[in-house]
Amino acid sequence: MMRDRAAPPCLPRHRSEGTELRFLHTADWHLGRLFHARSLIEDQAFVLDQFVALVRDVRPDAVLIAGDVYDRAVPPPEAVALLDDVLARIVIGAGVPVVMIAGNHDSAQRLDFGARLLAARGLHVAGRVGAETTCVTLVDAHGEVRIYALPYAEPAAVRDAFGVDLSSHEAALGAQLDAIRAAHPAGVRAVAVGHAFVVGGAVSESERPLSVGGSGAVAAELFHGFDLVALGHLHRPQTIGGRVHYSGSLLKYSLSEADHRKSVSLIELDGSGEVRIEQIGLQPRRDLRILQGELADLIAAGPGDARRDDYVYAVLTDTGALLDPMARLREAYPNALAIERAILARSGQAGEAGRQLRELDTGSLFANFFREVSDADLNGDQRRALDDLLAGMEASERESA
Amino acid sequence: MMRDRAAPPCLPRHRSEGTELRFLHTADWHLGRLFHARSLIEDQAFVLDQFVALVRDVRPDAVLIAGDVYDRAVPPPEAVALLDDVLARIVIGAGVPVVMIAGNHDSAQRLDFGARLLAARGLHVAGRVGAETTCVTLVDAHGEVRIYALPYAEPAAVRDAFGVDLSSHEAALGAQLDAIRAAHPAGVRAVAVGHAFVVGGAVSESERPLSVGGSGAVAAELFHGFDLVALGHLHRPQTIGGRVHYSGSLLKYSLSEADHRKSVSLIELDGSGEVRIEQIGLQPRRDLRILQGELADLIAAGPGDARRDDYVYAVLTDTGALLDPMARLREAYPNALAIERAILARSGQAGEAGRQLRELDTGSLFANFFREVSDADLNGDQRRALDDLLAGMEASERESA
């Protein structure tokens, strides 16, 4: 297991004043995201104000931001300004160090700008993957804790950085983790901040698949030896096997998340490496709700609904024709996003089929389409050619301006 | 002249070890620029390596980068990575503070990312204009020098930041400078870093006009009271009135610059505020040259030309038809960019007319077009409507992703 690699320095060091280390873990902010063509920037600023207040109140030893900070490689300028403001308020205003990694929605190179300079002030950013993993040391009464920042990386990027031949997400992450373990000092607690899809995790509709033509999933066992693994990617808060934790996303970013309770996670790590996780809810500026019923009933209920400013997705059960239902619905619910006609969904079957279709990745959708028009399945070569093409398009979309 | 405004703090302070202050002044890097569809990123990295070596050698008290750091609001990721690397080598590697402002090609908000955190490490970035101008204090044996960083800003942005009604570039810059002078302590030397078009400056073809339907020019007298004004925007190195200095651009970014000698400026400021400027040439990876002659002669000269890798613009004097002249020229000059046929330019007249046309801004081009198709000039209202439209398009292009 030991490799011919010098132990990487793990600097700078931050000293903790408490008897156990406390982290605030969050992820998947997706700043700059559009939802049904509406900008969510004010909603994002609203909950991030609460998050900054929480940081000031809790005074954790570090804030961990586990990727998908932005929604796309080139975020709109107001998203850049919001992130700049929030980070300055945490790092300068509250004096709390931040460890932040790139997710699959972020541009690794763009997020890396100024990283070496920012680290001096307590903002530790890991955008691009490298043979040396970004590492920060915390020191408490029990000794050291090393926090390893593992940015999301395509297998090809890990192959280039490590000079190892590999092609899957699991092999790529495994190579990074092996290198860390080989150089990690015995008896020192280890925390990983990462962005990955762990097998068994519950998915939502707003997560962009990590891999075309495959799940990109990794086994939770891959992280063996780490006391805490703070992850991003899956939007539902969840813990897998006790130590692998998703904080979940900042807001509800798809209809499939309407029943989520979004939160950030306060994680305590004691001297023996035991972990305690508490989820702390954030109040959205507007919630996302699905309302079902006849249009007239929904409209009638609007004036008495204290949360009529919520983002509303309406499933209308009316059987007859409706004149301009969206305009009428918006008089009662001004932030109504979309309408679905239950009757048109043939008692829900087509609706369910549509939902299933929406969950398929592009490769599978194309394979279905191919089968319908050609009466034959894609053969192995065709499927591989398609996957290569889609992977190339996705990589180029992620990195190009 | 005094305003009801508290004197802004001018921090942090950097202490000089020499008997006079020394600056390295550069501007208009335009990282990410395409030239005849070719990326110049390797050329830019090549001269910036020399610049970093010069910084290590000269050890100035500060490096001043006067705007147009990037060529466009959303630069390609490799340009972001190059700037990150160069700044880290100067600020961390050489330990020299940097004052950098946004030019009219940069996105003010994007360049501002991390500014408050970066300042702690010695990288002072001014992207967005604000009522308080970014200020850095240097201290030498003679006392203090304040460096004011004035990012390029549209008049509308200055109007918003200062709450003053103004509409011209001169009024906007004047308002910023008045506010600085009103709060500047007597007897302290003052340096401004700005991005502007000063009346009398020599223009090149690669500078994007600051103002649609007007020159956007400001009088040099606007800067009265400053000991040194280190500017960007004009690509030819030049000094106007002794104290107002353009370092010029990093590389030749248009044919009109073929005769330029590109350089960075070493500026010494003594205790009495006297300025001495020395231009230090940088060696480009490939020069830009205009070659004139018959195709066969140019091709014959290529193998013996020690600089055959230069970017070459060929003016061919052949009078007959030529078969695929670019492919043939590139066998001799592999980086030939373009060919102009002197014969087609009717003894140079059409060539000159074409050159004049290329120097016109979009508004004037449209006015010419309107005159040709309608036999009438744009009236005042039409011209204003056009200018508003173009200004809006330009602003939106600058800020949108």
Q: Considering only CB atoms, which chain B residues are within 8 Å of A102?
A: none
User: What is the token pair recorded at A326?
Assistant: 């969206």
Phi, psi (deg, nearest 5) at residue B216: 70, 10
Q: How far B321 CA sits from the closest chain A CA (Å)?
A: 41
Distance from CA of B69 to the nearest CA of A (A): 14
The beta strand positions in A93-188, using DSSP E, are 98-101, 123-126, 134-140, 143-149
B2 touches chain A (CB under 8 A): no
Task: Assess contact for B39 and B253: CB atoms under 8 A.
Answer: no
Q: Please give the Cα distance from A121 to A255 (Å, whole number).
A: 39
Q: Which CATH number fits domain B13-281: 3.40.50.300, 3.60.21.10, 3.40.1550.10, 3.40.50.280?
A: 3.60.21.10
* Per-residue pLDDT tens over the stretch B51-72: 999 999 999 999 999 999 999 9
Q: Which residues of B touch A83 (CB under 8 A)?
A: 113
Pick the CATH number of B288-351 from 3.30.160, 3.40.5, 1.10.287, 1.10.10: 3.30.160
Q: Does A116 touch chain B (CB under 8 A)?
A: yes
Could you say which of A73, A77, A107 has the minimum Cβ distance to residue B107?
A: A77
What is residue B21's three-state secondary structure?
A: strand
Interface test with B, best of A89, A105, A117, A124 (most B CBs within 10 A): A117
Please name the member of B76, B120, B401 whose beta carbon is closest to the beta carbon of A76.
Answer: B401
Asked if A77 and B118 come within 8 Å (Cβ–Cβ), the reply is no
Contact A107 B83 (CB under 8 A): no
Question: B263: buried, middle or exposed (CB in 10 Å: 19+, 13-18, 0-12)?
Answer: middle
Residue B341 contacts A where some CB pair is shorter than 8 Å:
no
Yes or no: say if A383 and A367 are a contact pair by the CB < 8 Å rule: yes
Distance from the Cα of B260 to chain A's closest Cα (Å) equals: 31
The predicted model gives B147-172 an average pLDDT of 93
Number of other residues whose CB lies within 10 A of the CB of residue A198? 23
Give the DSSP letter of residue B311.
Answer: E
Cis previous bond, B12, omega within 30: yes
Quick one: tokens of B4? 């009801």
Query: Quick one: fold of A288-349?
Result: Double Stranded RNA Binding Domain (3.30.160)
The residue in chain B having the minimum alpha-carbon distance to the alpha carbon of residue A95 is B117
**Residues A130 and A109: beta-carbon distance below 8 Å:** no
Nearest CA in chain B to A76: B401
Burial of B185 (0-12, 13-18, 19+ CB in 10 A): exposed
Per-residue pLDDT of chain A (401 residues; tens, 9 = 90+): 233 344 456 776 778 877 789 999 999 999 999 998 899 999 999 999 999 999 999 999 999 999 999 999 999 999 999 999 999 999 999 999 999 999 999 999 999 999 988 998 899 999 999 888 999 999 988 899 999 999 999 999 999 999 989 989 999 999 999 999 999 999 999 999 999 999 888 888 888 888 765 668 999 999 999 999 999 999 999 999 889 999 999 999 998 899 999 999 999 999 999 999 999 999 999 999 999 999 999 999 999 999 999 999 999 998 878 888 999 999 999 999 999 887 655 444 445 555 555 556 777 777 777 776 676 788 888 888 888 888 777 777 666 54
Residue B383 and residue B361 in contact, taking contact as beta carbons nearer than 8 Å = no
CB distance from A88 to chain B under 8 Å? yes
Pick among A78, A116, A123 to test the B interface (most B CBs inside 10 A): A116
Cβ–Cβ gap B118/A114 under 8 Å? yes
Provide the ipTM: 0.74
Q: Does B114 touch chain A (CB under 8 A)?
A: yes
Task: Count residue pairs from A and B with Cβ separation < 8 A.
Answer: 89
DSSP-based three-state secondary structure for A298: helix
Interchain contact B109–A (C-beta under 8 A) = yes
Determine, for residues B77 and A123 on separate chains, whether the beta-carbon distance falls below 8 Å. Answer: no
B315's tokens = 């003016």
Burial B27-57 (b: 16+ CB within 10 A, else e): bbbbbbbebeeeebbebbbbbbebbbebbee
Name residue, tokens 């950030």.
Answer: A264
Q: What is the dihedral of CA B51, B56, B57, B63, to 10 degrees?
A: 60
B72-125: pLDDT as tens digits: 999 999 999 999 999 999 999 999 999 999 999 999 999 999 998 899 889 999
Name all contacts of A351-359 with Cβ < 8 Å and 24+ positions apart.
A358/A205, A359/A205
- B129: tokens are 């204009």
Subunit contact A87:B114, Cβ cutoff 8 A: yes
Per-residue pLDDT of B296-353, as tens digits, reads 999 999 999 999 999 999 999 988 788 889 999 999 999 999 998 876 554 444 455 5
Q: Which two tokens mark B201?
A: 């400056």
In the 3-class helix/strand/coil scheme, how is B104-131 assigned residue by residue? CCCCHHHHCCCHHHHHCCCEEEECCCCC
Contact B60, B100 (CB under 8 A): no
Q: How far apart are CA B393 and CA B388, in angstroms?
A: 9
Going from the C-alpha of A350 to that of each of A322, A345, B57, B147, B380, the distances in angstroms are 20, 5, 72, 67, 60
Q: Do B112 and A87 touch (CB under 8 A)?
A: no
A117 with B92: Cβ contact below 8 A: yes
Q: Do A399 and B77 touch (CB under 8 A)?
A: yes
Q: How far is B31 from chain A (nearest CA, A)?
A: 14
Query: Could B74 and A401 be called an inter-chain contact, meaning their C-beta atoms sit closer than 8 Å?
Result: yes
pLDDT at A296: 94
CB contact under 8 A, B114 and A123: yes
Q: Is B48 left (phi over 0), alpha (psi -120 to 50) or beta?
A: alpha
Yes or no, beta carbons of A80 and B113 under 8 Å apart: yes
Is residue B401 less than 8 Å (CB to CB) from chain A?
A: yes
Per CB-CB distance under 8 Å, the chain A contacts of B78 are 109
Q: What is the mean pLDDT of the segment spanning B5-14?
A: 63
How buried is residue B271: exposed, middle or buried, by Cβ count under 10 Å (0-12/13-18/19+)?
middle
User: How far is residue A195's CA from residue A129's CA, in Å, rounded to a whole number?
Assistant: 12
Phi, psi of A296 (to 5 degrees): -60, -40
Q: Say yes or no for a CB contact (<8 Å) between B114 and A113.
A: yes
Amino acid identity, position B280:
I
Flag whether residue B88 sits within 8 Å of chain A, measured between CB atoms: yes
| Chain A closest-CA separation from residue B296 CA (Å) | 41
Helix (H, G, I), strand (E, B) or coil at B249: coil
Indicate yes or no: CB of B113 within 8 angstroms of CB of A113: yes
**CA-based torsion, A227, A229, A88, B192: positive or negative:** positive
Q: Answer for the pair A210, A203: CB distance below 8 angstroms, yes or no.
A: no
3-state secondary structure of A299: helix
Q: Is A120 on the interface with B (CB under 8 A)?
A: yes
Helix (H, G, I), strand (E, B), or coil: what is residue A188? coil
pLDDT the model gives residue B104:
93
Q: Residues B274-286: pLDDT tens digits? A: 999 999 999 999 9
Residue in A73, A117, A399 closest to B88 by CB: A117
Q: Give the residue from B223, B263, B201 showing the smallest Cα distance to B24.
A: B263
Interface touch A81/B116, C-beta < 8 Å: no
A78 touches chain B (CB under 8 A): yes
Q: How far is B117 from chain A (nearest CA, A)?
A: 6
Contact: B117, A401; criterion CB under 8 Å: no
